[in-house]
Chains A and B, each alone.
Chain A
Amino acid sequence: MNETITSHAVHRDDEASKIGMWLFLFTELLLFGGLFLVYTIYRHLNSAAFANAAGELSVLFGTINTIVLITSSLTIALSISAIKNNNAKRAKIMLWLTLIFALIFMINKYFEWSAKIHHGLFPGMEHFMSLPPGEGLFFLLYFFMTGLHAFHIIAGSIFIAVVIAQLNKSKITQDDYVLQENAGLYWHLVDVIWIYLFPLFYLIH
């Protein structure tokens, strides 16, 4: 992702960087889009099994993680408005907060996943294989989609860490903060995807 916003040319075009980032986000959206399509069709074909399986997931865990991610979206938005006001220190604090929220999200996810794996619900495990038709698909998609999402959280966190480093080197300033803006865009996208994952997996039963 880092590559999309670097340019060797002498002239700087922030608008181009932003368009490039948005285009990249579209591909990310459609990458998940393919999975959402699979989810939609399989839910349509196995609605009872999906509803049953969704009952296994903890609404509490999901809700906490939703709040955590929404809040992290707020902090990264605030960090951008801080750098706009030439407050690099506050920008950094807000980014660190975002990273902490990302960490909380992942820890939460870790406990959630290990609970499921403990119950043998991971694809290929014995209990998983004995599930009635459709329920296995639900858990498969659950692990696939939340796993891919978690992968994006990690990628986004690395992106944010790079931004912090650049802030430390004063390479991001009040006049040149498009990298930070793009990190924000990426992070919000991760949030938007979760906004859909949350009801689809935890809430509809």
Chain B
Amino acid sequence: MKNARTYQFASKPSIVSTAVAVGPLEKQSPFLPHFDLVYDDERFGQETNEKGHAYLIEETCKLAIMKGGFQTTDIDLFLAGDLVNQMTPTNFAARELATPFMGMFSACATSISTLITASFFLETNHMERILFGSASQHNAIERQFRYPIEYGAQKPPTGQWTVTGGGFGVLSHYQSDKPYVHSATIGQVVDCELKDPLDMGSAMAAAAFDTIQFHLSQNKGTSYDFVMTGDLGKTGSAILKELIRTSGVSSYFVDQYRDAGAEFYGNNDKLLSGASGAGCSATVYYGPIYAELLKKQWKKVLLVATGALLSPLSFQQGESIPCIAHAVELSMD
């Protein structure tokens, strides 16, 4: 049955604690006050970018566990992912954390896909505390998907800047004073045959639209404080707005729409269309958005993380960019 894409969690799993860490460039972000750890070194004092990436994940996870008042041994499952080949940074961080671990890859949508999966695990009542989230490190990702850091290739205005940062949280059974996962919609892969790897926002907007449309159709009459996509950037979010306007899904919705990538670096034109990366949505969702929910500033938000499921190999072989978007509805009583 197609409606199984959307699910309402009866047990209302709650995010009991979160932690967010970022690198030096992210200091210019308007979200800075909500970041727990801000490092001055983009390699986090490690030898290589990849080691720094692993260190970032490890430290953020430890902090999230500590803020919840737990020990690493209290964690039943660690669900996370990143964008580097075979997700070694996450794997290595999991080695250090020594918790049961499953790696997940949904590109930049990993921040939400891990949360959705964690919610299902909790719904079964078999587990009690699950650590989830995602991270990215600019240098490591740039080299993975594009060119060496120092190569002078010109980026077009649609280009995006991969965030150095990670956001992780601990999901547990319902607690009335914490935001909980009300429902979720799992994305379908959408491919509109776009091929420009320097314009991923445009490619991902179609997937975001597909998921949002489906989620709203299953939750008619719900009103949200806002809907926020992960990393469509200025380009992709403009396209998503247009898609929503012309389809007439909800005209009310357009005013309440935000994009974490477009807002991440403020109005810095040097960073072109805005931020992207698995760390972009994770840091914003589990940093500022979580904090405002906790303060009951907002009661109900729809978070939609988008991911471009390409690799340098698939791009060079002439394949188009398949995209995915996962949505989670967070509520606060």
Whether A associates with B in a native complex is no
- List residues of chain A with CB under 8 Å of any chain B CB: none
